[in-house]
């Protein structure tokens, strides 16, 4: 039994993580509305390969899922009273539609148990969309100082079915919310979780003996 567990752990250590998931939501921030307000937002970004300290500019993505829900009491180009944007996009489609992703992970970041927001020196998710007819795709930014913002990006082109007009909005013309972060986690890869589980199991076997 001891030999089997050791072999299993070595196998897990040798298996590279295939993707890292960045998960961020409104629960990680204190919000201060500047222009209109958001009820909720969430971002799940699947980055190919394991994360490490350094700069990332439009890294290869497996996919992006995000949602932004807002209340629009101030006049906007869309003329809507509110919106509920939900997007599930492949990595190639994300960049092809005009979006971008850039972030820097600090050299001192300890990623052994996942990355905290404070491990990011800077982070910019620009969900800008061209020729899709959407007003509300988001620009999310924050820095290691603890401050950031989320607002609509400068989306353009395409006829929106709700307004019947061609979309042409500048940054923040639909919503702007300032952010102060509390905490956010990039979940550890499955292989690392399994390795930790194997260590726990080995310790349990030893204690039982």
Residue segments in the chain with a per-residue pLDDT below the cut of 70: 1-17, 114, 182-209
The alpha carbon of residue 86 and the mean position of all alpha carbons in its chain are separated, in whole angstroms, by: 14
Burial of 208 (0-12, 13-18, 19+ CB in 10 A): exposed
Radius of gyration (C-alpha) of the chain in whole angstroms: 21
Q: What is the pLDDT of residue 116?
A: 77
The residue ranges of every structural domain in the chain are: 1-17+189-209, 18-188
Number of helices (H), then strands (E), belonging to the chain: the values are: 3, 15
Contact predicate 70/33, CB 8 Å: no
pLDDT in tens, 102-130: 999 999 998 877 677 888 999 999 999 99
CA dihedral for 24, 25, 31, 34, sign (positive or negative): positive
Tokens of 145: 């100082």
Q: What is the pLDDT of residue 208?
A: 40
Q: What is the pLDDT of residue 39?
A: 98
CA distance 192 to 188: 6
The full 3-state SS of 31-61, as one line of letters, equals: EEEEECEEEEEEEEEEEECCCCCEEEECCCE
The alpha carbon of residue 167 and the mean position of all alpha carbons in its chain are separated, in whole angstroms, by: 25
CA distance 85 to 139: 13
Supply the pTM of this predicted model.
0.79
CA distance 44 to 25: 9
């Amino acid at each position: 039994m001891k030999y089997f567990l050791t072999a299993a752990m070595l196998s897990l250590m040798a298996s590279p993580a295939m993707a890292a998931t960045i998960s961020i939501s409104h629960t990680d921030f204190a919000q201060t509305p500047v222009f209109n307000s958001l009820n909720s937002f969430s971002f799940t970004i699947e980055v190919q390969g394991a994360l490490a300290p350094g700069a990332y500019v439009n890294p290869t993505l497996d996919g992006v899922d995000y949602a932004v829900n807002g209340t629009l009491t101030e006049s906007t180009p869309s003329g809507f009273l509110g919106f509920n944007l939900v997007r599930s996009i492949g990595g190639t489609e994300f960049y092809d539609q005009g979006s971008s992703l850039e972030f820097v992970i600090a050299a001192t970041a300890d990623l052994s148990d996942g990355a905290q927001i404070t491990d990011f020196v800077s982070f910019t998710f620009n969900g800008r969309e061209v020729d899709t007819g959407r007003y509300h795709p988001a620009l999310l930014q924050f820095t290691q100082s603890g401050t950031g913002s989320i607002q609509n990006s400068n989306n353009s082109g395409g006829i929106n079915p709700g307004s019947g007009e061609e979309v042409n909005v500048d940054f923040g013309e639909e919503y702007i919310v300032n952010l102060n972060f509390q905490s956010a986690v990039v979940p550890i890869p499955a292989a690392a979780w399994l390795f930790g589980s194997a260590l726990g199991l080995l310790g349990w076997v030893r204690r039982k003996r």
